[in-house]
Chains A and B, each alone.
Chain A
Amino acid sequence: MIDLAGVTYAYPDSERNVLAGLDLSISEGSVYGIVGASGAGKTTLAKTIAGFIPHAEGGDLEGRVTVAGLDVPTATLLDVVTRVGLVSQNPFNQITGARFTVEEEIAFGLENLGTSRAEMLERVDAVVDQFGLEELRSRSPYALSGGQQQLVAIASIMVMRPSILVMDEPTSQLDPGGTRLVFDVIERVAQQGTTVVMFEHKLELLRDHADTLGVLAEGRIVLSGSPRDVLADERLAEWGVGSTRFTAAARAAASAGLVDRKAELPVSLAEATGYFAKGANR
């Protein structure tokens, strides 16, 4: 579904390889979370999967990038964007403003693709219903909260029915309420079979929503596996990723000699309860 091998990339007029020999394989229908320090190249990788690299950014891209059956470097950006949707951080910038109501903003991509009006109406209705935007549909997208705007942005992409949804830190500018709205919707999108690639730094949310977690550092995926294993990995701090508060507390407790060092580090509240219970029994 997504297959990147030996991918190396530098922006135009730059010597630095932001991606350096990156391998990444994501299977169809899964939810893949990617964590990494800021500056690790998360946005670059997101744009590579979604075709904006090299098509909109230019620069030197080497290696194999096959996404949704397309050889991205030789395909056109238009081909890629109809199969791979990209959602980014700032909801205000993703509202195009090309139309004046939420439903028209959502329909904008289909208008550009020349989709027949009957199908447009059906698809907009479906996505409005799925995302719970019924009450907002004739409002101005600029009159919405950040979280609601981000839902509109995701809906505007999903209405084009891509088989892959790439999200580049979609909740970094949202309050907790907005973050919850977005993750609820991601859950629903994943349930209907869309492959989701999530770049996110909220580790506990990734733990609950991702099937697989990858760590991006030094321009490569340096570690991937189940969220549980990845989040408990000792090397996360070296890669600048941080850890969940449960892992951090357990690690501090272990180094203070309060609990057994050999026990597997917890990544959730339930695991942490067990972990500390065991320590207390010692």
Chain B
Amino acid sequence: MSLTTEQPNKTRNLVFIILGAVIIVATYLYLIIGQPADIAAGLGPSALIALAGYLIGAVLIGVGTIHRLPTNTLVLIPVAIAVNIVVGQLTAALGLPFYFDSIGTILVAVVAGPAAGAVTGAFSNVIWGLTLSPLALPFAITAIVIGVVAGYAARIGVFRTYWAPPIAGAVTGVIAALVSAPISAFIFGGATGGGTGAIVTAFQAMGNSLLGATTLQGLLSDPLDKLITFTVVMLILLALPTRFKQRFPFVRQYNVLPGMKNKKLD
């Protein structure tokens, strides 16, 4: 591939990614398993630990990962984020009961791999935060996880079949819900938006804890949303002419899509 995509700081980038992942996992375990005493409404140190842990972790992973992308992958990302945001806003404007704001992320993950998916997810949230609502920023890690999971799903051949993408989408949705639940609980006290907030309240009324309620709310909406998104991405990829898809080394190397010969890169 391109000679201009040297990676002068390969080790440093790997350290960033690993450190970021460790911070995220540690934060997650502290919040979920450690069950801090102030869990009830996310006041006190747990809120700060959640905010700092998730943000610093996401920044480290984002910085470490973006360095690994060659220019021809990097240029996909701004347009993919624009698709995320324009389609996501339109979906909201049409009053549809799902988010549909990660279609660009999934698409990039499928044609360019987990690292590209992670960067698209991360910066999608950054852009959302910069233009629409800063409340999106702490959820950057969820978008990263969605991109990574979608990328690995494509790599093991999920998109070679017609039946697996919806399942992989639903699984991705479950993971996304589990990752974002402590963010909404500990940082925002369960209130992240009018509609979802009402659902969280309803689950609390049924006797669930705050974290339990945000988890259930996520499980109610995320798997369906990602199932739809993965299915739509599969349909779009089926409709695209082969020459556009063949351009991507990741697609060729891992034989990601149906009906393409498996050819190794030199």
A76 to B4, Cβ gap below 8 A? yes
Q: Is A55's beta carbon under 8 Å from chain B? A: yes
Contacts of B206 in A (CB 8 A): none
Instruction: With both chains docked as a complex, state the minimum distance between the C-beta of B111 and any C-beta of chain A, in angstroms.
Output: 15
Supposing A13-B246, A13-B252, A56-B72 touch, asked if A78 and B4 sit within 8 A by C-beta, the answer is yes
Q: Is B78's beta carbon under 8 Å from chain A? A: yes
C-alpha spacing A58/B263, complex, angstroms: 14
Q: Is A162's beta carbon under 8 Å from chain B? A: no
B78 to A97, Cβ gap below 8 A? yes
Contacts of B4 in A (CB 8 A): 55-56, 76-78
A76 to B246, Cβ gap below 8 A? no
Q: Is B1's beta carbon under 8 Å from chain A? A: yes
Supposing A13-B252, A13-B263 touch, asked if A58 and B1 sit within 8 A by C-beta, the answer is yes
Q: Is B93's beta carbon under 8 Å from chain A? A: no
Q: Mark A87-112, 1 if CB is under 8 A from B, else 0.
A: 00000000001000000000000000
C-alpha spacing A55/B1, complex, angstroms: 7
Taking a contact as CB atoms closer than 8 A, the residue among A12, A13, A55, A97 that contacts B2 in the complex is A55
Contacts of B236 in A (CB 8 A): none
Q: Is B96's beta carbon under 8 Å from chain A? A: no
Q: Mark A233-262, 1 if CB is under 8 A from B, else 0.
A: 000000000000000000000000000000
Contacts of B265 in A (CB 8 A): 12
Q: Is B239's beta carbon under 8 Å from chain A? A: no
Instruction: With both chains docked as a complex, state the minimum distance between the C-beta of B253 and any C-beta of chain A, in angstroms.
Output: 11
Contacts of A13 in B (CB 8 A): 246, 252, 263
Interface residues on B, range: 10 to 19
C-alpha spacing A78/B6, complex, angstroms: 11
C-alpha spacing A201/B252, complex, angstroms: 34
Complex interface residues of chain B between 244 and 266 (CB less than 8 A to chain A)? 246, 252, 263, 265-266
C-alpha spacing A76/B2, complex, angstroms: 9
Instruction: With both chains docked as a complex, state the minimum distance between the C-beta of B260 and any C-beta of chain A, in angstroms.
Output: 9
The interface residues of chain A, by DSSP majority, are classed as: loop
Q: Mark A187-213, 1 if CB is under 8 A from B, else 0.
A: 000000000000000000000000000
Q: Mark A9-38, 1 if CB is under 8 A from B, else 0.
A: 000110000000000000000000000000
A76 to B263, Cβ gap below 8 A? no
B252 to A77, Cβ gap below 8 A? no
Q: Is B33's beta carbon under 8 Å from chain A? A: no
B3 to A77, Cβ gap below 8 A? yes
C-alpha spacing A13/B265, complex, angstroms: 9
With CB as the reference atom, state the residue of chain B lying closest to A52.
Answer: B2
C-alpha spacing A13/B240, complex, angstroms: 18
Contacts of A56 in B (CB 8 A): 1-2, 4, 72
C-alpha spacing A244/B4, complex, angstroms: 42
Instruction: With both chains docked as a complex, state the minimum distance between the C-beta of B124 and any C-beta of chain A, in angstroms.
Output: 16
Instruction: With both chains docked as a complex, state the minimum distance between the C-beta of A92 and any C-beta of chain B, in angstroms.
Output: 11
Instruction: With both chains docked as a complex, state the minimum distance between the C-beta of A138 and any C-beta of chain B, in angstroms.
Output: 22
Q: Counting chain B CB atoms within 10 Å of each CB, which of A12, A58, A78 scores highest?
A: A12
Contacts of B3 in A (CB 8 A): 55, 76-78
Instruction: With both chains docked as a complex, state the minimum distance between the C-beta of A48 and any C-beta of chain B, in angstroms.
Output: 15
Contacts of B263 in A (CB 8 A): 13
Contacts of A78 in B (CB 8 A): 3-4
With CB as the reference atom, state the residue of chain A lying closest to B72.
Answer: A56
Q: Mark A44-65, 1 if CB is under 8 A from B, else 0.
A: 0000000000011010000000
C-alpha spacing A76/B3, complex, angstroms: 7
C-alpha spacing A78/B2, complex, angstroms: 10
Q: Mark A67-89, 1 if CB is under 8 A from B, else 0.
A: 00000000011100000000000
Contacts of A12 in B (CB 8 A): 265
C-alpha spacing A13/B4, complex, angstroms: 22
C-alpha spacing A77/B70, complex, angstroms: 13
C-alpha spacing A56/B72, complex, angstroms: 8
C-alpha spacing A243/B126, complex, angstroms: 53
C-alpha spacing A58/B265, complex, angstroms: 10
With CB as the reference atom, state the residue of chain A lying closest to B263.
Answer: A13
Contacts of A55 in B (CB 8 A): 2-4
Contacts of B252 in A (CB 8 A): 13
Instruction: With both chains docked as a complex, state the minimum distance between the C-beta of A237 and any C-beta of chain B, in angstroms.
Output: 28
Q: Mark B1-36, 1 if CB is under 8 A from A, else 0.
A: 111100000000000000000000000000000000
Instruction: With both chains docked as a complex, state the minimum distance between the C-beta of B200 and any C-beta of chain A, in angstroms.
Output: 38
Q: Mark A171-187, 1 if CB is under 8 A from B, else 0.
A: 00000000000000000
Apart from the given pairs A77-B3, A77-B4, 5 other A-B contacts in the complex at a CB distance below 8 Å: A13-B252, A56-B4, A56-B72, A77-B2, A78-B4
Selected A-B contacts with CB under 8 Å, 6 pairs: A13-B246, A56-B1, A58-B266, A77-B3, A77-B4, A97-B78
